[in-house]
A and B are shown apart, each in its own frame.
Chain A
Amino acid sequence: MRTELAVVGAGPAGLAASLAAAARGVHVTLIDAAEDAGGQFYRQPAAGLGARRPRALHHQWRTWERLRDGLAASSTVRHLTGHHVWCVERNSASSGASGRSERSAAFGVHALLGRFQDEPVTVHADAVLLATGGYEKVLPFPGWTLPGVVTAGGAQAMLKGGLVVPGRTAVVAGTGPLLLPVATGLAAAGVQVAALVESADPKGLVRRLPALAAKLPEAAGYASRLLRHRVPFMAGHTVVEAHGEDRLEAVTVAALDPAGRVRPGTGRRIPCDTLAVGHGMLPHTDLAETLGCRVDGVNVQVDDEQRTDVPGVWAAGETTGIGGAALALAEGHIAGRSIAARLQGTAPDPREWAAAASSRTRLRQFFAAVDSVCAPPAHWTEQVTDDTVVCRCEEVRAGTVREAVHGLGAGDLRTVKLLTRAGMGWCQGRVCGPAVAGLAGCDLTPTRRPFARPVPLGVLARTDHPAEADHTTEEGPS
């Protein structure tokens, strides 16, 4: 009734780790909420759509084929689809990952499945790899809740997963490396991209050129595509407002000064029916937090083997720090090899993964450079009017948050939440956390979310939680 390794997340990191561990004899259960492997990066068109050339929407298609085929061919990786993990529980009696004994498993991975996510399943495992990925950060501005405003990643998911485009005329805005593929992807799909608005200072981009050079060929590719589709690139600019009655009709874009303030009088109105906006990514750390793993800032802390400070728990990919698919693959590969060795009671030899380690180093440096350049405007909160909704779940406005800080003595995210309800709704502050932190002038600290997703009380109350059958004896969906 158990597996040796439970991998949570079937994106690049989880797939790479599963295959690396399985190749060394480890029985792996790969658990993911989606119906197909791939995660966000290798999101595939739904089978029913009959896509002829899905690769047109993807980079590194060959890598994906290798992972996909590896997963299909593996007899020791069991892939559980449609499993929404809500908690990883550490069984107190055992310390984990110290051998294939007959002891009780060290971890219980609790998931929900079914159309209504109300059927409980528990996978018992000796070791756990958290490859839970990241999610998009979006900061509020007046008009951001209008229909027609989507996240950059959301626009990309519509392209990759639904083969649909969100509108006819789009502005892509915000900051970070995701904006380029979104703009070129939309343009290639026939959307008129009226502007690509990046808040990063163009001088900063140039200053960081040496570090960014590693990715220059890729960037050059995007640049030529932007050129080909005649997409105007506006660096050092930001969207200050989205306009429209019932849905988006236009945005106002303005220039930023070097301090990150909007330059008065530079506003320009651009008509569009779609605004794809994103301000970078944040790691999913809920499961790690609840397990007690050390989280530094917003990233799960790992050592050179991708181990967290909780014995038996590894982490790889965006959850340890945003760095894209290539970094996730490297980290996943290293984690898989480390886990295989540790489960067999031996210390791994890092020389075996020297290539992955060196690309990990290079990519982390690259994304540190990206991070230092691609930041939201320093004074973005000045554009947020008091009546701008900040927490969409609970409909809390910026003015209410400001009042809690300046009038009621709130000083951190938790107190703002208690006094305003910002972050108490369905998303539990995942969306509004960065915005509330910015408005409150405090750090974005990870919120404790023992339930990584909502759990029916009836599931919690059940004492006879069904366990996944032993994957060495059972095949197919349960």
Chain B
Amino acid sequence: MNTRLTCDVVVIGAGMTGAACALYAARAGLDVTVVDRGPVAGGTTGAGEGNLLVSDKEPGAELELALLSNRLWAELAEETGERAETGRMIEYEAKGGLVVASSEQGLAALTDLAAGQRLAGVVAEQVPADRLRDLEPHLAPGLAGGVYYPQDSQVMPALAAAHLLRVSGARLLTGRTVTEVLRTADGSVRGIRTGHGDIHAPAVVNAAGTWGGEVAALAGVSLPVLPRRGFVLVTEPLPRRVRHKVYSADYVADVASDSASLQTSPVVEGTAAGPILIGASRERVGFDRSFSLPVVRALAEGAVRLFPFLSEVRALRTYAGFRPYMPDHLPAIGPDPRVPGLFHACGHEGAGIGLATGTGHLIAQALGGKAPETDLAPFRPDRFEEEAA
């Protein structure tokens, strides 16, 4: 059935970022339609762990966005929806993160990082080796020390996307593939075309995550978003034995790495529902979904090294997802100067759930013509064009 709709803004992508953009845009008084070719949370949102982290970011624009997002997540969690607190519906948990170093050298680097983060406003508490088990009783012996980050939090990402979309009141059209970004004679956006008809709007937000490059191409611009594959291992449900998000200090280096080859560093966390989630691997292998036993073995090995009790625990499942990766590891957020009316909100790599609220908030400000609260210059969507030129 063909439909024709008119609204203020079309958000392409019903994942976490699209949901947050829809929420804040609707709260700014805009009439929002969200379209997705699949269901809600069908892309990377449904394949992630739901990290809201400040601990893994070096001082700079991304950390600023993370701190803003962190505050907004906490505010959202306290809101009360139709039935229950939003925080409970989306399994929000301000559980804190614990980064551990296995060597003195690693600890020195971690301590330096934490010092810089503190200056940027992060709460980071040094944890000496003999106090690590106060925080995590089941940690392996022999670690050099760590840093505790109480601001690190978690949500269940698919629930978060679905509930924020519902709370937003935005029109949600799933199962609709965008085939064209419609433009006026002067080149500015006037809507989108889908297999089910056109939707007219003076603004379009590209929140297509890892597929954001394809949407940008429909509008005639390039946006270098590439997939960076990651596997997650999920264990049988257990009584809470891992209290925080616990990861090795190597993780920060892996996140920032530009290598295409496989990197794994152990990231272990318990969930409200019981299973323990184990990450994190990073590979640039395109959109290859095939299962890789060696990667999953490496994840298990890292996790058992941090928490020896996990050796006896069974993995029930594992799945892969594709982080939307951009060459400088920063997302594209804000208006695209090349196409008036086109906004981007994608390319958050592995931090998209955490950065979604800040991104949505800034996009809503930009849509409303306000000066954004945070400088968007580092996230400019056309920043790679200049480099190429």
Measured between beta carbons, the chain B residues less than 8 angstroms from A421 are: 273
Minimum CB–CB distance for B273 against chain A, Å: 7
Minimum CB–CB distance for A90 against chain B, Å: 9
Interface residues of A in 69-109 (CB under 8 A from B): 87, 89
Interface pick from B127-135, B310-318, B344-352: B310-318
Contacts A418-B158, A419-B159: A409 and B317 contacting too (C-beta < 8 A)? no
Q: How far is the CA of A87 from the CA of B313 in the complex (A)?
A: 18
Measured between beta carbons, the chain B residues less than 8 angstroms from A425 are: 237, 316
- The residue that B315 contacts in the complex, of A407, A411, A418, A455, with Cβ under 8 A, is A455
A458 within 8 A of B: yes
Q: How far is the CA of A89 from the CA of B313 in the complex (A)?
A: 22
- The residue that A419 contacts in the complex, of B162, B296, B313, B318, with Cβ under 8 A, is B162
- The residue that A410 contacts in the complex, of B40, B233, B293, with Cβ under 8 A, is B40
Is the CB–CB distance between A415 and B315 below 8 Å? no
B195 within 8 A of A: no
A132 within 8 A of B: no
Interface residues of A in 48-73 (CB under 8 A from B): none
B235 within 8 A of A: yes
Minimum CB–CB distance for B220 against chain A, Å: 30
Contacts A89-B293, A419-B159, A450-B291: A460 and B315 contacting too (C-beta < 8 A)? yes
Binary interface encoding of chain B residues 82-110 relative to chain A, with 1 for a CB under 8 A from any of its CBs, else 0: 00000000000000000000000000000
Measured between beta carbons, the chain B residues less than 8 angstroms from A412 are: 38-39, 42
Contacts A411-B174, A450-B317, A451-B318: A461 and B301 contacting too (C-beta < 8 A)? yes
Measured between beta carbons, the chain A residues less than 8 angstroms from B367 are: none
A292 within 8 A of B: yes
Is the CB–CB distance between A451 and B311 below 8 Å? no
A456 within 8 A of B: yes
Minimum CB–CB distance for B160 against chain A, Å: 11
Interface residues of A in 390-432 (CB under 8 A from B): 404, 407-412, 414-415, 418-419, 421, 424-426, 428
Q: How far is the CA of A321 from the CA of B278 in the complex (A)?
A: 35
A449, A450, A460, most chain B CB atoms within 10 A: A460
Which residue of chain B is the closest to A86 with respect to CB atoms? B315
Is the CB–CB distance between B319 and A448 below 8 Å? yes
- The residue that A460 contacts in the complex, of B174, B237, B275, B296, with Cβ under 8 A, is B296
Measured between beta carbons, the chain B residues less than 8 angstroms from A455 are: 314-315
Which residue of chain A is the closest to B294 with respect to CB atoms? A89
Q: How far is the CA of A448 from the CA of B158 in the complex (A)?
A: 18
Is the CB–CB distance between A463 and B297 below 8 Å? yes
Is the CB–CB distance between A457 and B273 below 8 Å? no
B26 within 8 A of A: no
Interface size class of A (residues with CB under 8 A): 20 to 34
Is the CB–CB distance between B158 and A460 below 8 Å? no
- The residue that A409 contacts in the complex, of B40, B290, B301, with Cβ under 8 A, is B40
Q: How far is the CA of A424 from the CA of B236 in the complex (A)?
A: 9
Which residue of chain A is the closest to B40 with respect to CB atoms? A409
Q: How far is the CA of A408 from the CA of B174 in the complex (A)?
A: 11
Is the CB–CB distance between B312 and A456 below 8 Å? yes
B243 within 8 A of A: no
- The residue that B316 contacts in the complex, of A87, A110, A426, A458, with Cβ under 8 A, is A426
A454 within 8 A of B: yes
Which residue of chain A is the closest to B297 with respect to CB atoms? A460
Is the CB–CB distance between B316 and A292 below 8 Å? no
Minimum CB–CB distance for A117 against chain B, Å: 9
Measured between beta carbons, the chain B residues less than 8 angstroms from A414 are: 39, 42, 46
Which residue of chain B is the closest to A292 with respect to CB atoms? B290
Measured between beta carbons, the chain A residues less than 8 angstroms from B166 are: 407-408
Minimum CB–CB distance for A278 against chain B, Å: 26
A290 within 8 A of B: yes
B304 within 8 A of A: yes
Minimum CB–CB distance for B315 against chain A, Å: 5
Is the CB–CB distance between A457 and B315 below 8 Å? yes
Binary interface encoding of chain B residues 310-346 relative to chain A, with 1 for a CB under 8 A from any of its CBs, else 0: 1111111111000000000000000000000000000
Q: How far is the CA of A414 from the CA of B42 in the complex (A)?
A: 8
Minimum CB–CB distance for A459 against chain B, Å: 8
Which residue of chain A is the closest to B162 with respect to CB atoms? A408
Binary interface encoding of chain B residues 259-297 relative to chain A, with 1 for a CB under 8 A from any of its CBs, else 0: 000000000000001010010000000000011010011
Contacts A408-B163, A408-B166, A458-B311: A450 and B318 contacting too (C-beta < 8 A)? yes
Which residue of chain B is the closest to A427 with respect to CB atoms? B316
Is the CB–CB distance between A457 and B162 below 8 Å? no
Binary interface encoding of chain A residues 375-389 relative to chain B, with 1 for a CB under 8 A from any of its CBs, else 0: 000000000000000
Interface residues of B in 107-152 (CB under 8 A from A): none
Q: How far is the CA of A414 from the CA of B299 in the complex (A)?
A: 23
Minimum CB–CB distance for A107 against chain B, Å: 12
Measured between beta carbons, the chain B residues less than 8 angstroms from A410 are: 39-40, 162
B172 within 8 A of A: yes
Is the CB–CB distance between A415 and B40 below 8 Å? yes
Minimum CB–CB distance for B241 against chain A, Å: 13
B175 within 8 A of A: yes
Q: How far is the CA of A473 from the CA of B172 in the complex (A)?
A: 64
Which residue of chain B is the closest to A456 with respect to CB atoms? B314
Binary interface encoding of chain B residues 161-175 relative to chain A, with 1 for a CB under 8 A from any of its CBs, else 0: 011011000001011
Contacts A414-B46, A426-B236, A451-B318: A456 and B39 contacting too (C-beta < 8 A)? no
- The residue that B300 contacts in the complex, of A87, A290, A292, A461, with Cβ under 8 A, is A461
Minimum CB–CB distance for B42 against chain A, Å: 6
Q: How far is the CA of A425 from the CA of B235 in the complex (A)?
A: 10
Q: How far is the CA of A463 from the CA of B302 in the complex (A)?
A: 12
B303 within 8 A of A: yes
Minimum CB–CB distance for B275 against chain A, Å: 8
Q: How far is the CA of A454 from the CA of B158 in the complex (A)?
A: 24
Minimum CB–CB distance for A295 against chain B, Å: 14
B14 within 8 A of A: yes
Measured between beta carbons, the chain A residues less than 8 angstroms from B233 are: 457, 460
Measured between beta carbons, the chain A residues less than 8 angstroms from B278 are: 457
- The residue that A454 contacts in the complex, of B14, B299, B314, with Cβ under 8 A, is B314
Measured between beta carbons, the chain A residues less than 8 angstroms from B300 are: 457-458, 460-461
Contacts A419-B159, A449-B317: A409 and B311 contacting too (C-beta < 8 A)? no
B41 within 8 A of A: yes
Binary interface encoding of chain A residues 430-457 relative to chain B, with 1 for a CB under 8 A from any of its CBs, else 0: 0000000000000000001111001111
Measured between beta carbons, the chain B residues less than 8 angstroms from A419 are: 40-41, 158-159, 162
- Give B residues with C-beta under 8 Å from A: 14, 38-42, 46, 158-159, 162-163, 165-166, 172, 174-175, 233, 235-237, 273, 275, 278, 290-291, 293, 296-297, 299-301, 303-304, 310-319
- Give A residues with C-beta under 8 Å from B: 87, 89, 110, 118, 290, 292, 404, 407-412, 414-415, 418-419, 421, 424-426, 428, 448-451, 454-458, 460-461, 463
A-B contact pairs, 27 of them (CB 8 A): A292-B290, A409-B39, A409-B174, A410-B39, A410-B40, A411-B39, A411-B175, A415-B39, A415-B40, A415-B42, A415-B46, A419-B162, A424-B275, A450-B293, A450-B296, A451-B317, A455-B315, A457-B235, A457-B278, A457-B313, A458-B304, A458-B311, A458-B312, A460-B296, A460-B297, A461-B297, A461-B304
Given contacts A409-B165, A415-B41, A457-B303, 17 further A-B contacts (CB under 8 A): A110-B293, A292-B290, A408-B166, A412-B39, A415-B42, A424-B316, A424-B317, A448-B291, A448-B319, A450-B319, A456-B313, A457-B278, A457-B310, A457-B313, A458-B311, A460-B299, A460-B301
Nearest 8 A-B pairs (CB), nearest first?
Answer: A458-B311, A460-B300, A418-B158, A409-B40, A411-B39, A454-B314, A408-B162, A461-B301
